[in-house]
Structure formats: C-alpha cells, structure tokens
Structure 1
Amino acid sequence: MSARTLPLSRPVPIAEVPLDLRLKVVSAAGAGFPSPAQDWEETAINLVELLRLDRAASFVFRVSGQSMLDAGIFDNDVVVVDRDATPTNGRIVIAIVDSGFVIRQIVWREGRPVLEARNARMRYDPVVADESVEVWGVVRACVRNMQG
C-alpha cells in the first residue's frame, strides 16, 4: 500500500477550546495496588491543560486506517499534533505525502529520514522524507474512544 491510501482528515486548530472545559474525577481506577494518596487528589481534570490544547501550534487529527497499530494508534483515534516540535528519530509524525496527510514513524536509515508504517500484518512502502514530503508536525498525544 502506498502512503496515500491512508489519508487523515484536515487539521483542526484547537486554540479556541473553552478554557473552563473540565471533567469531574469520580475516583482513581486501580490498575495495581491502591494508593494511600488517593483521597488527596484533585476533583477535576482540565482536558485543555492535560493535553496542552491551548497552544496555537497544537492541532488534532482523526486517524483513518490501520498503518500504526503496532505503535498503539488505531483507526478513529484522535492525535494531538504539535507543528513546532522537532521531528527526531523514532517520533510519530504527520506528513504530507502525495498531497495527503499520513501518520508514520520517522526513522533515519543510512543517513536519510524515512517515514515508516507500524503494522507488521500489512505491507506499506516506506517513504523517504525528501523535498517532496513535508513533515507537518509531531504527534504528542493519542486519545481513544473505547466504545468504538
């Protein structure tokens, strides 16, 4: 499959998200041993602060496709992307390839940046990040709706 077969939707600026968007925390959900400090936790989470969505350089994309399953990014996940972050080796990035947005991991191979998919069950051609490819931003966070 080529990189263009898995386009992402258009970037969505999120700097205008209401600053008072808060969710009430009911309790900590144990994924190990209960913490004695559990009773001292704050009672609200500000998603804008938690995901740092109030930055002008932050955008969100909805992922379409299965090219990044092995990186823990699934179809319909939402990723927070920073336009001002440096795309260093191993980072997940949004790039413009063949006039469409794709999500890939950037790795250096033989001194050249290459965009690679992360799904061992499917074949995706790696793309050399040359002058025809724009690395648009770096993925900072991923949000998943567990209800599908």
Structure 2
Amino acid sequence: MNTPLPVTQLPVQVWAISATVQCGFPSPAEDHTQKRLDLNELLIHQPDATFFMRVRGPSMRDAGIDDGDYVVIDRSLEAKHGNVVLAVIDGEFTIKRLFRRAGRVKLQAANPTFTDIEFRDGQELIVWGVVTWTLKGLLPA
C-alpha cells in the first residue's frame, strides 16, 4: 500500500504571466505583466493536512487523473457528494468520486470499464481526504 507523502513547505516560486492563453485560435498579443506565483499558496491551503500521492491505474482517467499523475490531497476538507476522494477500503487506498445520496454511499470510477464500489454489511469506508489538484507531466518519462 502506498503511503501519502507529507508536504514540506519550501519557498517554491515560478514566474506567472497575468494573462490567459487560448488553446484554440491565438489571441492578439497584449501587454503582459509578470509576477511570481507561489506554488505553496496555489496548491496548499492547510500544510499540516496536505499530502501528495502518485496515482497508479486508469480508473479515474475521465476525470483527468491519469496513471503516473500526482494528486494533492487535503485532509482538512469535509468530503461531499461529487468530490474526488482518497478512500481506504479494507486497508487499501483508492481514488474515486464520492456518491452520497438518499442514504446510499458508493465510490464511482471515472472510467466506464470499472464498476462502482458498493459496500457490504460490516465493510468500512474511510474517506482519508479530498483530492484538490492533479499534477501531471507532459514529457515522456
């Protein structure tokens, strides 16, 4: 079982351009200013409750979470219906979308080849945290 990695606060800052970019047709050039973007401020709201974990498997691909990505998990957030969560079932971690309606609770994959996880009597679901970000590389490993 993989264990989530705790976040260590490091002064990680990168340049950010104060403009958006089109992924379709290019927009005319504008006068863009630059500022420093602190990745800790962007990704981490509760440092003591935030963890990173590497994803394995394709069950959440349609939610934009792919094999090899890292997810940012915030344990301080209350999990709500529709959130993507890190859950513990029978001692194993899994990332799925939480379904909680009309007294029913299940975990849903974001890939039609995977079935929902429904719970039997005596089986325990522990929602360990809420996934807040996905970090992915675009270059081949």
Q: TM range, normalised to the smaller chain?
A: 0.7 to 0.9
**For this pair of structures, how many residues does the alignment match?**
136
Runs of at least 5 residues in structure 1 that lack an aligned partner in the other structure: 1-6
| Residue equivalent to 1:86 | 78
- Which protein has greater RCO, CA pairs closer than 8 Å, 6+ apart? 1
Q: Which residue pairs with 1:41 in the alignment?
A: 34
For the 8 Å contact 1:67–1:124, the answer to whether it is kept is: no
Output one character per residue of 1:88-127: Cα deviation in whole Å (capped at 9) or x when no partner. Answer: 010000001121110000012542221111101x133423
Identity %: 32
CA contact (8 A) 1:93 1:103 kept: yes
Query: Scaled by the length of structure 2, what TM-score is found?
Result: 0.82
Mapped pair 1:74 → 2:66: yes
Normalized per residue, the structure richer in strand is: 2
Quick one: which of 87, 90, 93 aligns to 1:95? 87
Q: Unaligned 5+ residue runs, structure 2?
A: none
TM-score, scaled to structure 1: 0.79
Which aligned pairs between 1:1-148 and structure 2 lie closer than 5 A?
Answer: 9-14=2-7, 16-18=8-10, 20-25=11-16, 30-31=21-22, 33-34=27-28, 36=30, 38-42=31-35, 44-52=36-44, 55-120=47-112, 122-128=113-119, 132-148=124-140
CA distance in 1, matches of 2:138, 2:19: 18
Q: CA RMSD in A?
A: 2.5
1:39-65 superposed Cα distances (whole Å, 9 cap, x missing partner): 2231x2211111126611111111110
